[in-house]
A and B are shown apart, each in its own frame.
Chain A
Amino acid sequence: AQKVTQAQTEISVVEKEDVTLDCVYETRDTTYYLFWYKQPPSGELVFLIRRNSFDEQNEISGRYSWNFQKSTSSFNFTITASQVVDSAVYFCALSEAPQGGSEKLVFGKGTKLTVNP
């Protein structure tokens, strides 16, 4: 069965600090996808990144970076030099890839990040 654990319920930092959001997943499949979504106070779900299980390269996009480690089943998200606009709930999600089936997303419970000025 698929499962995603985000152990950090809430994190509070001061602007310009770096912050890492943890994500640990469980799956029996060898082919799967990992995602991060951002939910700002306005409520929408904004896609940030998709990573497939065959690509363990870390990715950097501006102040955002992601560290995928299959050995520890983790897909952690780091924000460098955090800003107030980064305040949001961040969700990690997993989907398996059954042939011809749905790639439903299984979400973690989310981590609420508050960046204080």
Chain B
Amino acid sequence: GAGVSQSPRYKVTKRGQDVALRCDPISGHVSLYWYRQALGQGPEFLTYFNYEAQQDKSGLPNDRFSAERPEGSISTLTIQRTEQRDSAMYRCASSLEGIVFGKETQYFGPGTRLLVL
């Protein structure tokens, strides 16, 4: 079946512009996560949705970052007034709701490589 998809795969923008990154999770997956991965580092958590509810946004670095998942499926991560330090790979992951041991394994999309000039 289809995996997690993300678009665009690459985004080059100028400092100060807003960008919107899209994630389409695996069908039926109720949990959705956003991570950011700098070069040479592991992914770092940004935010988490359970269906359409944003239940954890503790990893969002500042108020320029926001995310939504209005219908409990596709999610959008928006960065306003982009800065050069926002350049990174942005990854989305989704998982099923587990029964016994909680939520299941997170499967990652290919990521969006963001470059802010």
Contacts and interface: CB of A to CB of B under 8 A. Distances in A.
Contact of B45 (A4, A47, A104): A104
Q: Report, as a range, how many residues of chain B touch the other chain.
A: 20 to 34
Interface in A36-75: 37, 43-45, 47, 50, 52
Q: Which label, helix, strand, loop or mixed, suits the secondary structure of the B interface?
A: strand
Contact of B42 (A52, A93, A97, A103): A93
Contacts of A50: 105
B44 interface: yes
A109 B48 CA distance: 21
Given A45-B43, A110-B41, A104 B59 contact: yes
Interface stretch (B17-25, B65-73, B78-86, B107-115): B107-115
A8 to B, nearest CB: 14
A97 B107 CA distance: 17
A45 B105 CA distance: 13
A47 B56 contact: no
A104 B31 CA distance: 10
B26 interface: no
Interface in B72-117: 89, 91, 93, 95, 101-103, 105-108, 110-111
Contact of A43 (B31, B41, B106, B111): B111
A110 B42 contact: yes
Interface residues of A, number: 24
Contacts of A108: 42
Interface in A79-117: 91, 93, 97, 100-110
A91 B41 CA distance: 9
Contacts of B42: 4, 91, 93, 107-110
A70 B63 CA distance: 39
Interface string B18-38: 000000000000010101000
Given A43-B89, A104-B45, A104-B48, 9 more contacts: A43-B111, A44-B111, A45-B91, A47-B108, A93-B42, A102-B48, A102-B50, A105-B43, A109-B42
Interface of A: 4, 33, 35, 37, 43-45, 47, 50, 52, 91, 93, 97, 100-110
